[in-house]
Amino acid sequence: MRKNLFIAISPSHTSNFESIIKNKLHSGINVLLNPGNFRYDENSWDLVINGGMDLTYTVSSKIGKILFQIKKLKGYKKYLKKVQKQLSLDQNYTFFYCNLDDVVTNHIFLNLKKREDNLFYVVEDGILNYYYPVRDLKTLGFKKKLSAFCGLNFETFPGHPTNIASKDIKGQYVRIPNNAIYSEKSLALPYEKLAYSPKEDKTLIIGQDIMHNSAEGEEYYKERLSLLFEKVKDRISDNTTIIYKPHRNGDVSIAEELLNDSFDKYELFRDNTPIETCIPQIAPTGIYSFESSAMLNLKIAMDMKEVYFGVLPFSNNSNNVLDLYKGLGINILK
């Protein structure tokens, strides 16, 4: 029997995979590769291979980034040895993945490509599937050298990090099939509707703390984040409760410093589970962020006119994403 092999490199991946299994797959053995030990539903899986890796990325210095990558690659190498003890990659698989710029995903993909009867599907990774991100080929080349040094295979695929244009990729599961790049390969990713009754005046700011490592630099990130907070202040009252949910990656201390400057008080909501799981608990009347995947997922799942969605563009490279947001009724802040 064919095995359906899934690899999760962020918490949201497991919930997307489980939705596919529940609604789309009716045969096969479902195997989850879970190096970050993210939460999962035991009933969805025949086999789960967990790792003990901490995939949280918070460093900002060049040396820190290199050391983090080496630590991560060594962790991946150790994890793959664990996988090989429980699973032979020289079998017939349907492989579901999200991003080939991730080394362990790339390594497994290259191994599975050796067999012509294996099938490959991309699964949505937030906004990534709706535009072409600017990729630093120099950084990817360095990642390839580091990977080789650690005994891991890594290949840079041109175009898009999912390699969706390749004839090897049979399709992509996405929430909005017609808006995804290579829409002709799109398959509908099932998702659950979200609803709640806002009882208090709460504003949620979804952090993109990893953006301090963006190509634009940390100072630019601070400027944009300060502006986002100013835009939020323009729309709230003195009685509004401000809630900031940090990204699982990045240095939240930068945001905390700016939050202290912008608001008399606020709450930090530290929870690494996907925001779709947390949103009924927070129950905000307003939600703000940069061009985050969370904003896309929430707006699609929530048919709630009483909740205000506001996005401040972080860079000038996101016109396709902003058009998508506008089409969904998300307000673009200027």
Within a domain: 257: yes
Please check whether residue 60 is in contact with residue 212, taking contact to mean a CB–CB distance below 8 angstroms: yes
Contacts of 279 (CB under 8 A, 6+ apart): 194, 196, 204, 298, 302
Residues 223 and 154 in one domain: no
pLDDT tens track for 151-195: 999 999 989 999 999 999 999 999 999 999 999 999 999 998 999
Range scoring the smallest mean pLDDT among 33-42, 48-57, 103-112, 222-231 = 48-57
Q: Which domain holds residue 22?
A: 3-188
* pLDDT tops 60 at residue 319: yes
H/E element, 42: none
pLDDT tens track for 252-287: 899 999 999 999 999 999 887 888 889 999 999 999
* DSSP state at residue 94: E
Task: Please state, in angstroms and rounded to a whole number, the distance separating the CA atoms of residues 304 and 206.
Answer: 18
Within a domain: 197: no
Mean pLDDT of 51-57: 72
Residues 315 and 175 in one domain: no
* pLDDT tops 60 at residue 233: yes
* pLDDT tops 70 at residue 58: no
Read off the CATH number of the domain in which 238 is found. Answer: 3.40.50.11110
Calculate ∠ Cα 260-263-266, nearest 5°. 80
Residues 159 and 215 in one domain: no
Q: What is the pLDDT of residue 55?
A: 62
Range scoring the smallest mean pLDDT among 9-18, 215-224, 321-330 = 215-224
> Domain boundary at 131, 155, 188, which?
188
Convert 132-148 into a string of H (helix), E (strand) and C (coil).
Answer: CCCCCHHHHHHHHHHHH
Residues 265 and 166 in one domain: no
Q: What is the pLDDT of residue 9?
A: 93
User: 203: how many CB neighbours lie within 10 A of its CB?
Assistant: 24
Within a domain: 323: yes
> Nearest 5°: phi and psi at 198?
-65, 120
Within a domain: 171: yes
* pLDDT tops 80 at residue 300: yes
Mean pLDDT of 310-326: 85
Residues 121 and 242 in one domain: no
Within a domain: 176: yes
Q: What is the pLDDT of residue 45?
A: 98
The pLDDT mean for the chain works out to: 91
Residues 93 and 141 in one domain: yes
Residues 161 and 218 in one domain: no
Look at 288 and 209; give whichever has higher pLDDT: 288
Residues 211 and 107 in one domain: no
Q: Are strands 186-188 and 169-174 parallel, antiparallel or unpaired?
A: parallel
Q: What is the pLDDT of residue 265?
A: 93
Read off the CATH number of the domain in which 160 is found. Answer: 3.40.50
Q: What is the pLDDT of residue 321?
A: 86
Please check whether residue 120 is in contact with residue 108, taking contact to mean a CB–CB distance below 8 angstroms: no
Within a domain: 130: yes
Within a domain: 267: yes
* DSSP state at residue 157: P
Tokens of 70: 């080496």
Please check whether residue 209 is in contact with residue 255, taking contact to mean a CB–CB distance below 8 angstroms: yes
* pLDDT tops 90 at residue 34: yes
* pLDDT tops 80 at residue 61: no
Within a domain: 45: yes
Q: Using CB atoms within 10 Å of the CB of residue 308, give its burial: 0 to 12 exposed, 13 to 18 middle, 19+ buried.
A: middle
Q: How confident is the model at residue 89 (pLDDT cuts 50, 70, 90)?
A: confident
Query: In Å, how far are 66, 136, 272, 328 from 256, measured between CA atoms?
Result: 26, 29, 17, 30
CA-based nearest residue to 10, from 294, 285, 303: 294
pLDDT tens track for 132-156: 988 888 889 999 999 999 999 999 9
Q: What is the pLDDT of residue 118?
A: 96
Residues 243 and 288 in one domain: yes
Residues 137 and 221 in one domain: no
Residue keyed to tokens 């996101």 = 318
* pLDDT tops 60 at residue 59: no
The total number of structural domains in the chain stands at: 2
Look at 8 and 61; give whichever has higher pLDDT: 8
Look at 21 and 277; give whichever has higher pLDDT: 21
> Domain boundary at 144, 159, 188, which?
188
> Domain boundary at 128, 156, 188, which?
188
Contacts of 300 (CB under 8 A, 6+ apart): 175, 176, 191, 328
Residues written for the chain: 334
Residues 20 and 167 in one domain: yes
Residues 232 and 323 in one domain: yes
Contacts of 238 (CB under 8 A, 6+ apart): none
